[in-house]
């Protein structure tokens, strides 16, 4: 059953640092950065004007906000880093809108009531070391490589065997249907590597210079501060959506890519403005984004889709909540949901980079699309009406009161500048409906401990990255209680939350899964309200005007081709 797989995954998330865990700072995990961080000295090298003797390409130097992964072995640590997908390929992939598309697997079909998956494969793929990609390689990838990874075994826990039916056709046999494996194989955890290289390097695989896949670039070297890639001349298998985007022209790529890590915002932007780097991926501070937009020296962009989300998790267990009235009163939770002006948060705190969040799933997820009547958008009069019709009145002190209890609770948040600014704005907004929200800031470890133990009333996430409907299961199912520290304990009062989300996890087809999650989604929004979603932030890219064809991409990674007027 799918939920058993997720329980195993949950135990691993903290250990391997996968997306889906709140970052320690706003954006430390995904490139969305806080303001006002301290400066450090960081050296960068390279010259965007370097010419390639063969007449094509040059060097593009890119600044990123996160450290470069020290190990690029998917089994040990998955990574969505900006440079990662330039080197490592996947069987399936995400397009710019976050939907699963073909890549090294060109087509697929589920057969035998979903118990088998037949994958047709590209016939022209050669890994960086010259070894061939084929169905035998896919069998090894699923039954050996991923199965023996500390952070990847969950993907193939339902895989019994892989039958090689032809050189480029593989039949995956499941112990029970697993329609969501296609999403997992497109993720950082499903990345495919050269079998020959993995066996040659052994325990050293994934270290600097020992990363081999089938992406458009080969890795030369990497450490936690930088990575150097060189164009892979044999590459001629772009993702289908990429061919359409660039009208089939995929030959224009830089000869060399140099990625430099700048964890400090001021140092990163200074390097960019001084011309030491050509662009920043997902590292543009929101305060500077409008200035870069207005300048002729730079171009800017954000991905058309994002899996980032910021929300407030509510503790619905009145026995442990520090504000039992919030856990017990549905109308209060609904009033708060209508009383928060999400667009103001986007505009004031994020300079318009992002979208208000009307429900509990990001727009890239099919189950996000439900009737508007279930969504929460800012409606001050409706917030007041919902509370008034359910017995709430505003006392002379301006505080909403019901049966002698005041609408008062404390929001627990991590101590970052963006978190504090969000919390302050929400506190002011809720005064309009007589709700008193105090704010308590703390360090990340204490935040996770208090929320995980249920010692809170409401806890605000930083930037959380999750791109499928499993988020509802993590947050509300009793079966996920010990797997996810941001669980709402909704099942304490609403056992149907577990019933509906578990039923969705057990679906045998993607269509059935989507439909079941839509039903769970509507129920949670209408009858439970375990969360208050605020917004879907986006990472922002900025690059010099001399760089052409730079396209911000889903997950914040740019896709090539790229060319420069200086080459």
355-376, pLDDT tens digit by residue? Answer: 999 999 999 899 999 999 999 9
Which one, of 39, 33, 87, 25, lies nearest residue 65 by Cα? 33
Report which secondary-structure segment, H or E, holds 379.
Answer: none
pLDDT score recorded for residue 444: 92
| Three-state secondary-structure class, residue 4 | helix
Q: Which domains does the chain have, with CATH numbers?
A: 31-63+223-304+543-567 (3.40.190.10), 69-208 (3.90.76.10), 308-537 (3.10.105.10)
Rg (CA), the chain: 24
pLDDT score recorded for residue 556: 44
Contacts of 428 (CB under 8 A, 6+ apart): none
pLDDT score recorded for residue 243: 61
pLDDT score recorded for residue 98: 80
Give residue-wise pLDDT tens across range 62-78: 999 989 989 999 998 87
Q: Characterise 289 by phi-psi region: left (phi > 0), alpha (psi -120 to 50), beta (else).
A: alpha
- Per DSSP bridges, beta strands 547-548 and 541-544 are unpaired
- Per DSSP bridges, beta strands 405-406 and 400-402 are antiparallel
* pLDDT exceeds 70 at position 20: no
Contacts of 511 (CB under 8 A, 6+ apart): none
pLDDT score recorded for residue 252: 57
Tokens of 113: 């009531």
Interatomic CA distance for residues 526 and 376, integer angstroms: 10
| Three-state secondary-structure class, residue 408 | strand
* pLDDT exceeds 70 at position 18: no
pLDDT score recorded for residue 321: 97
Phi, psi of 451, deg, nearest 5: -65, -45
Which one, of 83, 40, 68, 77, lies nearest residue 261 by Cα? 68
Kindly report the number of other CB atoms within 10 A of residue 406's CB atom: 17
CA distance to 149, 192, 224, 434, 506, per residue, from 208 (Å): 19, 17, 10, 57, 41
pLDDT score recorded for residue 58: 85
Q: Mean per-residue pLDDT for 117-145?
A: 97
Give residue-wise pLDDT tens across range 261-282: 999 999 999 999 999 999 998 8
Q: Mean per-residue pLDDT for 302-323?
A: 92
- By CB atoms closer than 10 A (0-12, 13-18, 19+), residue 35 is middle
- Per DSSP bridges, beta strands 159-166 and 169-174 are antiparallel
Average pLDDT score, the chain:
86
Kindly report the number of other CB atoms within 10 A of residue 452's CB atom: 16
Please tell me what DSSP assigns to residue 70.
Answer: S
Q: Mean per-residue pLDDT for 198-209?
A: 96
Which one, of 304, 311, 415, lies nearest residue 356 by Cα? 311
Contacts of 144 (CB under 8 A, 6+ apart): none
Q: Characterise 539 by phi-psi region: left (phi > 0), alpha (psi -120 to 50), beta (else).
A: beta
pLDDT score recorded for residue 242: 62
Q: Mean per-residue pLDDT for 387-408?
A: 97
* pLDDT exceeds 90 at position 174: yes
Instruction: Name beta bridge partners: 458.
Output: 314, 411
Confidence of residue 127 (pLDDT cuts 50, 70, 90): very high
pLDDT score recorded for residue 564: 67
Say which range, 24-28, 68-72, 385-389, has the weakest mean pLDDT: 24-28
pLDDT score recorded for residue 53: 39
pLDDT score recorded for residue 551: 76
Spatial contact of 458 and 530, defined as CB atoms under 8 Å apart: no
Interatomic CA distance for residues 377 and 301, integer angstroms: 26
Tokens of 443: 């360090």
- Per DSSP bridges, beta strands 226-231 and 256-261 are antiparallel
* pLDDT exceeds 70 at position 146: yes
* pLDDT exceeds 70 at position 144: yes
Interatomic CA distance for residues 538 and 302, integer angstroms: 6
Confidence of residue 16 (pLDDT cuts 50, 70, 90): very low
Query: Which stretches within 372-527 are classed as H helix?
Result: 380-388, 417-430, 444-453, 470-476, 495-505, 510-523
* pLDDT exceeds 50 at position 410: yes
Phi, psi of 292, deg, nearest 5: -65, -35
pLDDT score recorded for residue 23: 38
CA distance to 143, 291, 371, 472, 526, per residue, from 522 (Å): 38, 41, 9, 11, 6
């Amino acid at each position: 059953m799918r939920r058993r797989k997720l329980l195993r995954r949950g135990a691993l998330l903290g250990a391997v640092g996968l997306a889906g865990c709140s970052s320690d700072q706003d954006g430390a995990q995904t490139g969305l950065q806080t303001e006002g961080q301290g400066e450090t000295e960081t050296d960068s090298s390279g010259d965007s004007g370097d010419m390639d003797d063969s007449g094509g390409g040059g060097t593009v130097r890119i600044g990123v906000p996160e450290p470069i992964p020290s190990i690029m072995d998917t089994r040990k640590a998955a990574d969505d880093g900006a440079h990662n997908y330039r080197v490592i390929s996947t069987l399936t992939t995400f397009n710019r809108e976050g939907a699963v598309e073909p890549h090294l697997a060109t087509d697929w079909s589920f057969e035998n009531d979903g118990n088998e998956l037949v994958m047709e494969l590209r016939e022209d793929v050669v890994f960086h070391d010259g070894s061939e990609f084929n169905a035998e390689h896919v069998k090894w990838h699923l039954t050996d490589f991923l199965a023996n990874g500390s952070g990847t075994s969950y993907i193939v826990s339902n895989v019994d065997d892989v039958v090689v039916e032809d050189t480029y056709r593989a039949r995956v046999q499941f112990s029970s249907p697993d329609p969501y494996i296609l999403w997992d194989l497109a993720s950082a955890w499903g990345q495919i590597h050269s079998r020959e290289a993995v066996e040659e390097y052994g325990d050293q695989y994934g270290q600097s210079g020992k990363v081999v896949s089938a992406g458009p670039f080969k890795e030369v070297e990497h450490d936690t501060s930088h990575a150097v890639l060189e164009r892979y001349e044999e590459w001629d298998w772009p993702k289908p959506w990429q061919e359409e985007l660039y009208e089939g022209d995929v030959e224009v790529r830089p000869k060399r890519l140099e990625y430099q890590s700048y964890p400090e915002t001021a140092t990163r932007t200074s390097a960019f403005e001084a011309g030491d780097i050509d662009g920043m991926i997902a590292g543009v501070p929101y305060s500077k984004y409008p200035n870069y937009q207005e300048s002729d020296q730079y171009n800017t962009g954000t991905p058309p889709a994002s899996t980032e989300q910021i929300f407030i998790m509510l503790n619905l267990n009145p026995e442990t909540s520090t504000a039992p009235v919030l856990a017990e009163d549905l109308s209060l939770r609904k009033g708060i949901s209508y009383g928060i002006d999400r667009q103001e948060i986007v505009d004031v705190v994020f300079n318009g980079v992002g979208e208000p969040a009307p429900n509990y799933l990001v727009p890239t997820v099919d189950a996000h699309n439900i009737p508007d009547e279930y969504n929460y958008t800012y409606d001050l009069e409706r917030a007041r009406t919902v509370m008034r019709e359910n017995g709430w009145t505003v006392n002379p002190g301006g505080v909403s009161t019901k049966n002698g209890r005041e609408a008062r609770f404390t929001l627990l948040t991590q101590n970052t500048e963006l978190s504090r600014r969000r919390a302050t704005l929400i506190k002011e907004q809720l005064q309009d409906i007589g709700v008193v929200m105090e704010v308590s800031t703390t360090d990340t470890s204490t935040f996770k401990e208090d929320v995980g133990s249920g010692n809170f009333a409401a806890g605000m996430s930083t930037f959380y990255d999750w791109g499928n409907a499993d988020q509802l299961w993590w947050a509300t199912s009793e079966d996920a209680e010990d797997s996810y520290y941001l669980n709402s304990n909704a099942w304490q009062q609403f056992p149907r939350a577990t019933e509906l989300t578990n039923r969705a996890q057990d679906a045998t087809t993607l269509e059935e899964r989507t439909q079941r999650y839509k039903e769970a989604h509507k129920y949670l929004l209408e009858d439970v309200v375990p969360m208050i979603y605020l917004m879907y932030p986006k990472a922002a890219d900025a690059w010099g005007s001399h760089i052409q064809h730079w396209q911000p991409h889903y997950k914040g990674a740019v896709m090539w081709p790229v060319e420069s007027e200086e080459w």
